[in-house]
Amino acid sequence: MQTTMYRRGLCALILVVSGMIGSAGATSANTDVSDIWWNPAEDGWGMQMVNTGTFVFATVYVYGLNGAPTWFTGQLEKTGAAQTTYAGPLYATTGPYFGGPFNPAAVTARRVGSMSFVLTSVSNGQLNYSVDGVPVSKLVQRQTLTFDNYAGDYNVVTTQTTTGCVNAVDNGSFSGTSALDVSHSGQFMTLINTYRDNSSCSYSGTYSQRGRMGQVAGSYACTWGEVGTMTFFEMSNVPYMFTARMQSNSSNFGCNTEAEIAGVIPR
């Protein structure tokens, strides 16, 4: 039964590769906020954040009273708030003209206020900052530059926790490996996940993306008779690999699964 259970969770998890962005999916303490963020109703300003561990370096590009381009930098640390929150000082800097020799001694940094960023979902956040006593509060979301393509043959590793199964033996925490074949054309993906015993699960989904994160909601069917629905979120990729999280529900086995996955294309 544990072999069947492992196949169940792993097969459901793999559909992450057909990500579609949306509002589903709880945020995680370790959700990477690195991205370009903006408010689509206010095109022309934005923010870029680089997240390393519990630290975020934020660059805000806005406009001053005279309409001239202006930018501020925030040095933010993760707080103990219930929602994923980063907060810290905000600075304005000046320096030498870019067209001439660069003199580091001419660079100045002045603290102008503070900044906080609350991740309200994987792809949405609340930005608050102040500059010389002027408060700003904005709703922001990840900005998509280009769509990723996940086509390829992957080796994947999955870690999952399964609860609520009709057969209690199928509940528990498991991890393992499998092979995943992904076809990706436009907004449509098909994929086949094959396990060591040659059993498999097949999936289909409509792909969309916000910033560097993807998500999908869809269905799956496996060769041992299991079917169900799933949501995959917080999916991102770099050349030859991807990572993601997932939640799934088996409509005939009763199992609820939460999992993390990482896939690589063998060289």
Determine the average pLDDT of the residues in 187-209.
85
- Tell me how far apart the alpha carbons of residues 230 and 249 are, in angstroms, rounded to a whole number: 6
24 pLDDT more than 70: no
Give Cα 220 distance to the centre of its chain: 22
Dihedral pair phi/psi, residue 123, rounded to 5°: -120, 10
Reduced to 3 DSSP states, what percent helix, strand and coil does the chain have, rounded to the nearest 5? Answer: 10, 60, 30
**Overall pTM > 0.85:** no
Dihedral pair phi/psi, residue 12, rounded to 5°: -65, -40
DSSP 9: H
* Cα-Cα-Cα-Cα dihedral sign, residues 41, 46, 48, 54: negative
CATH of domain 2-27+146-264: 2.40.128
pLDDT in tens, 43-52: 999 999 999 9
Contact 203, 193 (CB under 8 A): yes
Q: Where do the structural domains in the chain lie, given as residue ranges?
A: 2-27+146-264, 35-142
C-alpha distances in Å from residue 67, one per residue of 45, 48, 109, 146: 12, 20, 21, 29
Contact 117, 86 (CB under 8 A): yes
Q: What is the predicted pLDDT for the residue at 244?
A: 86
Q: What is the predicted pLDDT for the residue at 29?
A: 55
pLDDT in tens, 208-219: 899 999 887 888
17 pLDDT more than 70: no
